Amino acid sequence: MDFVFNEDQEALASTVKRFLMTEMTPELIRELWATPTGRSDRLWDLFASQGLMAVSVPESYDGMGLSEVEWALLAQTYGYFAGPEPLLDTSLVAVGMLNGLPSGAWRDELLRDIAAGAARVAVTHPVNPYVSDAHVAQVLFCEHEGELHRVMPDACSWQAVESVDPSRRLFELDWKPDASTRIASADEAAPLLAASLDRGAFAVAAQLLGLTQRVLDVAIDYSAQRKQFGKPIGSYQALKHLLADVAIRYEFARPVVYRAAYAIAHNDPQRALYVSHAKLAATAAAQLAARHAMQVHGAMGYTWELDLQIFMKRIWALAGSWGDTTFHKARVADTLIGARAPIGPARTFELES
């Protein structure tokens, strides 16, 4: 059994990493903080030119037709650079919803618009108290009493909610559902909302993996440059242990996130278990990385001038997005204990009949 990504998947992720390394800089992120929307149309167009918007869109709608397995690397890379744009909400979560809806004029046109970079989509879900990027969305998918509605921006109003991360633009939404906005009944919407929760939580977990690596890299670089008593502080055993603990936690979380991607892509019956495990593992790794990176930097880590704050604040913000730790622990417990799931080493390689 092959547990590694193939050459094409690695090459796609490598291409995106080189692109983001040039375009998604900390300097740009700081510039966007000062703009009214916090978003960049130029950057969104560049995402589309790189094919990022079309990853999950079926080929029949001008997309690439790839799965969550490819997103495992792409979302991790996006997290590493702390991209502020709603890339994953639109091209992974919203596209997943659209793929689950029957073909129709507006649905097919929206898929093509997403692939071309002509549309941002905001997605609401009961697990999230606020909706992100409603202010720049061309379309909003909203849940109401279990139903799924398609809401246009001019049919709703929103109130901004402050986030610990200046790049996160969160809103309280005010809108009125009616028959013209309903695109799925409660029965039809239930599997779509369940799948969007899993895709959203997986997307956050993958980004947290990337942020863990970025914060670790920042801490390692600082520990090599900062000197005390004539020696780099990274040469002291206490700091080595801090950074080694992060690296170990990261390596344990990585395959868990990749397993969740595979479970979503293949609609595994235990998908919710794997996704919640991934969110928990990635959140724990990222939060540990943030704490230890701050300890390595000392008082300097609290200053506005250091880029470390960009990545730490994103970790804090994403930790509660698409379900907090309590929520995902409860999902794991329900699956393992309540449903008496077949688990353990003897079950690992069982094939489903």
Is the pLDDT at 229 greater than 70? The verdict is no
- Residue (of 277, 289, 276) closest to 315 by Cα position: 289
Is the pLDDT at 14 greater than 70? The verdict is yes
For 256-314, write each residue's pLDDT tens digit. Answer: 999 999 999 999 999 999 999 999 999 999 999 999 999 888 878 878 889 999 999 99
What is d(CA 120, CA 194) in angstroms, rounded to the nearest whole number? Answer: 21
Residue with tokens 């969550």, as numbered in its chain: 68
Domain ranges, ordered by start, for the chain: 191-347
Q: List the structure tokens of 77.
A: 């890379």
Radius of gyration of the chain (CA): 21
Neighbour-count burial of 88, counting CB atoms closer than 10 A to its CB (0-12 exposed, 13-18 middle, 19+ buried): buried
**Helix, coil or strand: residue 122:** strand
8 Å CB contact between 195 and 96: yes
Task: Say which DSSP state 65 is in.
Answer: -
Q: List the structure tokens of 270.
A: 């235990």
* Order of strands, sheet of 170-175, starting from the edge strand that comes earlier in the sequence: 131-132, 170-175, 156-161
Mean pLDDT, rounded, for 213-227: 84
Report residue 353's pLDDT band, with 50, 70 and 90 as the boundaries: very low
* Phi–psi pair at 205, nearest 5 degrees: -60, -45
What is d(CA 152, CA 60) in angstroms, rounded to the nearest whole number? Answer: 25
Residue 2 pLDDT: 61
What is d(CA 244, CA 250) in angstroms, rounded to the nearest whole number? Answer: 10
Determine the residue type at 313: K
> What percentage of the chain reaches a pLDDT higher than 90?
82
Neighbour-count burial of 146, counting CB atoms closer than 10 A to its CB (0-12 exposed, 13-18 middle, 19+ buried): middle
Is the pLDDT at 1 greater than 50? The verdict is no
Report residue 348's pLDDT band, with 50, 70 and 90 as the boundaries: low
Report residue 345's pLDDT band, with 50, 70 and 90 as the boundaries: low
Residue 308 pLDDT: 93
Is the pLDDT at 9 greater than 50? The verdict is yes
**What are the distances in angstroms from CA 171 to CA 39, 123, 241?**
15, 12, 41
Share the mean pLDDT of the chain: 92
Mean pLDDT, rounded, for 195-221: 96
CA torsion angle 197 201 203 206 (round to 10): -160
Residue 239 pLDDT: 74
Is the pLDDT at 116 greater than 70? The verdict is yes
Mean pLDDT, rounded, for 118-133: 96
8 Å CB contact between 340 and 273: no
What is d(CA 315, CA 293) in angstroms, rounded to the nearest whole number? Answer: 12
8 Å CB contact between 80 and 214: yes
Q: List the structure tokens of 232.
A: 């780099």
Neighbour-count burial of 284, counting CB atoms closer than 10 A to its CB (0-12 exposed, 13-18 middle, 19+ buried): middle
Report residue 198's pLDDT band, with 50, 70 and 90 as the boundaries: very high
Report residue 243's pLDDT band, with 50, 70 and 90 as the boundaries: confident
Q: What's domain 191-347's architecture?
A: Up-down Bundle (1.20)
Strand partners, 140: 122, 151
229 or 200, higher pLDDT: 200
Is the pLDDT at 33 greater than 80? The verdict is yes
What is d(CA 328, CA 319) in angstroms, rounded to the nearest whole number? Answer: 11
Ranges of H-type helices in the chain: 7-23, 26-33, 41-49, 68-80, 87-88, 95-99, 105-116, 186-225, 237-265, 271-297, 308-319, 325-333
What is d(CA 282, CA 56) in angstroms, rounded to the nearest whole number? Answer: 23
Is the pLDDT at 233 greater than 70? The verdict is no
